[in-house]
Amino acid sequence: MENRVKRVIIYARVSSDRQDVDLSISAQLKALRDYAARNGYVVVKEFVDEAESGRSTARPSFREMIGLARTKQAPFEMILVWKLSRFARNREDSIIYKSLLRKQGIQVVSINEPIEDTPTGRLMEGIIEVIDEFYSSNLGQDIKRGMRENASRGFFNGSRPPFGYVRKKIKDGDKERNSLEPNPKLLPIVQRIFNEITNEKGLKEIAKGLNRDGVPAPAGGKWGKQRLHKILTNEAYTGRLIWGKVHKGKTSLPPVIKDNAWPAIVDKSVFENVQVTLSERAPKVTHPRVASSNYLLSGLVRCRNCGASYIGYGAKSGQFHYYVCGTAYSKGKEACPSQHLPQEKLERFVTDKIKGYILTDGHLLDLIKQSNEAFDVADNKRKERVGVIDKEIEQWQGRLERLYDFVETKKIEPDRMAQRIADVQDKLNLMRQAKLDLENGQGANRAAYIDPQKVLSYVAELRHFLDERGLFERKAFLRSFIEQIRVGDNKVTLDYTLPFPPTNIKQETVSVLDIVSSAPPNQIPSIDKSILSVGGFLFA
């Protein structure tokens, strides 16, 4: 939301240094809360470190605050402090942690030192960023130099060894480094794969045989063409180490190549012959945007039997197009006995359902009315709950301030009150987060309120939309009404995103015979793999 309230957290600290004459914890918290209220900020959490030195980052609440900031979606955009010295007095720590927070989109603001609003402040920010960039770049170069040297001596830098190998520790002076050695349990599997491809078996046939024999695949699951191709093209099986391959468009040092770095599983001549075989079998690849343009429902259709996505492929040099289960295509009918569906019939069936069943004046008016009524009810409940939480926050803030007063006047020993203060702070943080969630929900509901007349004025255009617009727009339009399409057991089930009136159903199941007049062929010859599309991507 554009007008969403800015979320902030408060950090307060008093030092163990007797010369520290800054405000007490309760006074800092009061000033910081007042500042947040004046600026319309929502305080989602408070962090407090008592009797902790700012020269060290080994502060419990400080560490917890930084950890929360590093999460994928931090629940705040700003940290408020009384003074910057409350955040850190060590220049190096300040640079590192403020830089880390900036990368997360989080700003540290001192309510008594607004340096960000002055030319000098902005200059200092720029200097800090340059210093941080230098530190980061220099550290990265040091790490790469070390890994390059490690690889040039024949040691393994990776975290996960190739399938068929295990890591082996080797003594190197006072240190231990990694190399590879064949895994006796997996070695025969790798050799079988190379032997079968050499004996003219295809990837699909090899995968079916491995799955039929119950041979374990890398990281579990079933064998497929992609896993086999990855093994068959990996030079590590010849004992060759390759580290630091140059990425396209980037200038870099040449890769480190070390032959006989570890025991080989496959002879080099066998490996080279396999590469020739794979190259000869590889079909001419078509750009994904060209191939995916034929399949309107890519990513929507799923197999009821195995849960895999249905993919589109062409037969007879692209004369015929079908949707088929990805598992059945890559691993055979033994892995999944699903049906083939003609592309044109399935797509026409789905679009006719949307146009004739959903996009009608009566259905849309009923749906809009129900949606807006639900928004109103939800908003009223949220407003009532926000009022209750506001009163609770006020009461618990009063309790917390009284506890700090007791500690500072030495009426009660700090050790006896520490747990009670922590419990009250946790309670306040939970209530603030609950209030923020409710307020954000109210804003979302207001934005989602639907104008019936505006929608109805576009009904005719919406019906033509599915026939006349480009593929990208039509795909997005379908996804606003259909959650997924499940195929299996001779049935096709449409799961709608909303319950549609008058019956308020959210799901509809029809016989596959309504789409396919006759059973699909068991095998379709001359598959044109160059247009094989899976959710907009190509597979050869």
User: Beta strands 241-243 and 256-258: pairing type?
Assistant: antiparallel
- The H or E element containing residue 110 is strand 107-110
Distance, in Å, from the CA atom of 73 to the CA atom of 84, rounded to the nearest integer, reads 25
The backbone torsions φ and ψ at residue 66, rounded to the nearest 5 degrees and listed phi first, read -65, -40
Q: Does the CA dihedral 252-230-532-327 come out positive or negative?
A: negative
User: Beta strands 175-182 and 165-172: pairing type?
Assistant: antiparallel
pLDDT of 355: 73
- For 244, the token pair is 């630091």
Distance, in Å, from the CA atom of 110 to the CA atom of 127, rounded to the nearest integer, reads 19
DSSP state of 235: G
DSSP state of 215: P
Work out the angle at residue 277's Cα, subtended by the Cα atoms of residues 269 and 334, and round it to the nearest 5 degrees: 120
pLDDT of 387: 83
Q: pLDDT digit of tens for each residue in the chain (540 aa)?
A: 345 678 999 998 876 544 444 567 888 888 999 999 999 999 999 998 875 554 555 678 888 888 888 887 888 999 998 877 777 755 666 777 877 888 888 888 888 866 655 556 656 655 554 554 555 556 557 677 778 888 888 899 877 899 999 999 988 888 889 999 999 999 999 999 999 998 888 898 899 999 999 998 887 788 998 899 999 999 999 999 988 876 554 556 788 899 999 999 999 989 998 888 887 766 543 344 433 446 788 778 889 888 888 888 776 666 778 888 888 887 777 788 887 888 888 888 888 877 766 666 666 677 667 667 766 777 777 788 888 888 888 888 888 888 877 777 766 666 667 777 888 888 888 888 888 877 776 555 554 556 666 666 656 666 666 666 666 667 777 777 788 888 888 888 888 876 655 555 667 777 766 665 333 344 333 333 322 323 322 222
What is 310-341 written as a DSSP string? EEEEEETTTTEEEEEEHHHHHH-TTT--PPPE
- The H or E element containing residue 4 is none
- For 435, the token pair is 């209030």
pLDDT of 521: 40
Report the amino acid identity of residue 6. K
228 three-state secondary structure = helix
Work out the angle at residue 494's Cα, subtended by the Cα atoms of residues 492 and 496, and round it to the nearest 5 degrees: 175
CB within 8 Å of 311: residues ≥ 6 apart? 298, 323, 324, 325, 326, 329, 532, 533, 534, 535, 539
pLDDT of 138: 61
Closest CA relative to residue 312, chosen from 471, 462, 206, 470: 471
Distance, in Å, from the CA atom of 182 to the CA atom of 188, rounded to the nearest integer, reads 10
pLDDT of 300: 86
Closest CA relative to residue 438, chosen from 372, 395, 392, 381: 381
List Cα–Cα distances, 36 to 6, 79, 80, in angstroms.
Answer: 10, 10, 8
